Chain A
Amino acid sequence: MKNIEKLLENEYREKLGTMKYENKSKLFSIYEKKERKSSKTRTVIIRRTAAALAFALIFVGGTSALAMTNPEVMSVFRNLIRASAPGVELSDRNVDDIEDRMENFHVRTQDVPLIMDSMEVNKYGETIGRAFTTFDLFKVGASGDPDDPTGYVYRYDLGVLENYMLLPEEVEYLESSGLMGALTAPDLNSQVKRNWVYVFDREGMNIIGKYIFPTGFKTNKQLEDPKVAAAFSPISEYNKYNEFVQDRIEYKRENGTAPEIGKVALDPLPTEGLNELANFDFEGLPPLSDDATVECDDPEFCSIIELITTGQGTDTPHAWARVICYKTGSAIFTIKEGDQEFQFKCTLFVDGRHYNVSWERIK
C-alpha cells in the first residue's frame, strides 16, 4: 500500500498539476454575453477588453491574463524584453511576435539581479513580495513538463506576475542541460512537491546555487489548512533563502566564479524544523467508527490533522492519520475506540532527496 500512497502523493499530483482548463477565453465570452444583455453601453468596452483578454489567454493562460491587460505590467514586460533582446519590441497584438521575443528571455534579462524559480502570485506570494520590496527581484519558472511548457515571471517589488510559454528550443535546452526540473521548483498551484530552487546571477545562465527550502514548500491548498499555515512561515523561509542568495552573490563577487553547486546540491536534507505533510497507515485494524481517536506521544515530532477511518462493517478495515511532521524520527501513535487500543510506531526518514514514512504495529 505504501508504494501506491507514494505514487498518488507524487506522480499523480504532479501529473494533475499539468492539467489545465484550456478554454478560459470561452468563459470570459460568457461573461461578455451576460453583460451585453444587462447593459448596452458597456458592451463595446467589455467586448474590446474581452477580445484583448482572449488574446492574452491564448498566449499566457491563467492569472497573467489580468496582468497582460494592465499597462503597468505591460511596461515591465516590455522592458524585460528590451533588456533580454535589444532592438526587439514587444507587440501585444501578435502571438507569434511575442513568442519570437520570448526566446531565451527568461535567463538573459540583464536588468534582473536575481532570478529564482516559479511561484504563482497569490496571498502567499504577495506576502513574500512585500518582504522583498527593497530588492529588484524576479523569479521565473516552468512547469517542468515538456508537454506543458508554461513559465512564470514575477517581480516582487511591483507584485506582478507574468506567465509565458517556453519555446521548444528552450525546453530542449533545459532538458539537455539537465535544468528541466531546476526551473520547476515550488509552484504553489501545481501541487508539484519540490522544495528547491536554482539561483541564477544577473549575467544569465550562471547558476550560483541550489537552495533547498529546509521546511519544504506548501501548496495553496495545503496552506488553506490552518494547522499547516500556522506551522509554516513564508517570511522566515524567504529570509533564509535570501541570506543564501546574498552569500552566493558575495562569494562570486570575491572569487570571480560561482560556488560549487554540486556540493550544495548534495547537502543532506534537514532533519529538523520541517513541516512535512505525511500519512501514516494503520494496517490490520478491526473496523473503526468516526468516534475513534488517535494520539501521538511526541508533540515535537508532529501534529495530527485528521484520523481517517474506513467505518464499521467494511470488509477491509483500515485507518490512517494525516499529520505534519516537524522532524525526522519516530513516535508512538495510539488509536483508541471504546475500550480498544492499538499502537503503531511511525517513522519519518530521509530517503535520498525525499522524505519517506514507515509504520509498524506494536500493540
Chain B
Amino acid sequence: MTRVDKQEFENTVNTYSDMMYRCALAYCGNKADAEDVVQDAFVRYLQRSPEFKGEAHKKAWLLRVTINLSKDLCKSFWRRNKSELDENTPSKNGELSECEIWSAVSQLPQKYRVIIELYYGEGLTIDEISRITKVKRSTVGDRLLRAKQLLKKLYEEESV
C-alpha cells in the first residue's frame, strides 16, 4: 500500500468527484445522500491507498466504491425507515426539473437510472458497466433498452 500524497489526492478529487457525485445521485436519488457517498468514497480511497494499474483502473475502482457505498446507504436502516421529502428528489428539485429528460430519468427505477448515468452520462461501454456494476453484460444491455422504453412511455403519457 502506498500513501496517497496531497497532490495526487487533489488531482483525484478534481478529476473524479463530479463523476462520482453524478453516479451516486443517480443511485441515491437525492443530493445530500450523494454528497455523503462521495465523501465516504474518498475517505475509503485515503484509507486504502490502493495501487492502480492506470487511470482506467482508478476510475473503475472509484466508481465501484461509489456504487457499493450508495447501495449500503440505500440498504441502511435509517434510509429504509424514513420518508423522502419531495424537494430532495431530483425530479422535484427546481434546478433539475428544468431539464425534461433529466426529470424523466429520475422517475425510472434505481437500477435503470444508474445504467443510464454510466452509459450516457459517463460514456462507459456495456462491458465496462458490466464489470463495475457486477451485472451480466446482457442484463446491462437489457436494462438500457428497458430504460429507454420506459422513458418513451413516460414521454407518450406526458403528451397524452
Taking Cβ atoms with an 8 Å cutoff, the residues of A that contact B are: 1, 3-5, 7-9, 11-16, 19-24, 26-28, 30-31, 34-35, 46, 49, 53, 62-63, 65-66, 147, 189, 191, 219, 221-222, 224-225, 289-290, 305-306, 308-312, 314, 316, 318-319, 322
A312 and B138 contacting across the interface, CB-CB below 8 Å:
yes
Known: A11-B101, A24-B17. 19 other contacts (CB 8 A): A1-B149, A3-B155, A4-B148, A4-B151, A16-B22, A19-B22, A20-B18, A30-B39, A30-B42, A49-B6, A53-B10, A63-B14, A191-B121, A225-B125, A289-B138, A310-B144, A311-B142, A316-B149, A318-B145
A219 and B39 contacting across the interface, CB-CB below 8 Å:
no
Q: Does B99 contact A (CB under 8 A)?
A: yes
* A residues in contact with B101, CB < 8 Å: 7-8, 11-12, 15
B128-154 toward A: CB 8 Å interface, digit per residue (1/0)? 000000001111011011101101100
Q: Tell me the smallest distance from the CB of B29 to a CB of chain A, in Å.
A: 14
Minimum-distance CB pairs A-B, first 4: A311-B138, A221-B123, A21-B21, A15-B99
Q: Indicate whether A316 sits within 8 Å of B146 (C-beta atoms), given known contacts A30-B42, A31-B9, A311-B139.
A: yes
Q: Tell me the smallest distance from the CB of B146 to a CB of chain A, in Å.
A: 7
Which of A5, A7, A11, A221 lies in contact with B122, CB distance below 8 A?
A: A221
* A residues in contact with B136, CB < 8 Å: 311
Which of B10, B125, B142, B151 lies in contact with A66, CB distance below 8 A?
A: B10
Q: Which residue of B lies closest to A53 (CB)?
A: B10
B13 and A310 contacting across the interface, CB-CB below 8 Å:
no
B14 and A62 contacting across the interface, CB-CB below 8 Å:
yes
Q: Indicate whether A8 sits within 8 Å of B148 (C-beta atoms), given known contacts A21-B18, A24-B14, A62-B14.
A: yes
Q: Which residue of B lies closest to A66 (CB)?
A: B10
A310 and B123 contacting across the interface, CB-CB below 8 Å:
no
* A residues in contact with B145, CB < 8 Å: 310, 314, 316, 318
Q: Tell me the smallest distance from the CB of B2 to a CB of chain A, in Å.
A: 14
Q: Does B20 contact A (CB under 8 A)?
A: yes
B138 and A310 contacting across the interface, CB-CB below 8 Å:
yes
B10 and A12 contacting across the interface, CB-CB below 8 Å:
no
Q: Which residue of B lies closest to A46 (CB)?
A: B6
Interface of B, secondary structure class, is helix
* A residues in contact with B18, CB < 8 Å: 19-21, 189
Q: Does B77 contact A (CB under 8 A)?
A: no
A306 and B121 contacting across the interface, CB-CB below 8 Å:
no
Q: Indicate whether A34 sits within 8 Å of B152 (C-beta atoms), given known contacts A12-B121, A23-B35, A310-B141.
A: no
* B residues in contact with A28, CB < 8 Å: 9-10, 13
A1 and B152 contacting across the interface, CB-CB below 8 Å:
yes
Q: Which residue of B lies closest to A23 (CB)?
A: B35
A19 and B25 contacting across the interface, CB-CB below 8 Å:
yes
Q: Which residue of A lies closest to B36 (CB)?
A: A23
Q: Indicate whether A30 sits within 8 Å of B148 (C-beta atoms), given known contacts A20-B21, A24-B14, A310-B138.
A: no
B141 and A24 contacting across the interface, CB-CB below 8 Å:
no
B15-34 contacts to A, CB under 8 A, are 15, 17-18, 20-22, 25
Q: Tell me the smallest distance from the CB of B144 to a CB of chain A, in Å.
A: 7
A289 and B142 CA atoms in complex are apart in Å by 11
A30 and B123 contacting across the interface, CB-CB below 8 Å:
no
* B residues in contact with A306, CB < 8 Å: 125-127
Q: Tell me the smallest distance from the CB of A293 to a CB of chain B, in Å.
A: 14
Q: Which residue of B lies closest to A219 (CB)?
A: B123
Which of A21, A53, A222, A309 lies in contact with B17, CB distance below 8 A?
A: A21
A49 and B149 CA atoms in complex are apart in Å by 50
* B residues in contact with A23, CB < 8 Å: 35, 38-39
Which of A3, A30, A147 lies in contact with B46, CB distance below 8 A?
A: A30
* B residues in contact with A16, CB < 8 Å: 22, 102, 117, 120-121
Q: Does B157 contact A (CB under 8 A)?
A: no
* B residues in contact with A11, CB < 8 Å: 99-102
B138 and A290 contacting across the interface, CB-CB below 8 Å:
yes
Q: Which residue of B lies closest to A63 (CB)?
A: B14
Q: Which residue of A lies closest to B47 (CB)?
A: A34
Q: Tell me the smallest distance from the CB of B85 to a CB of chain A, in Å.
A: 19
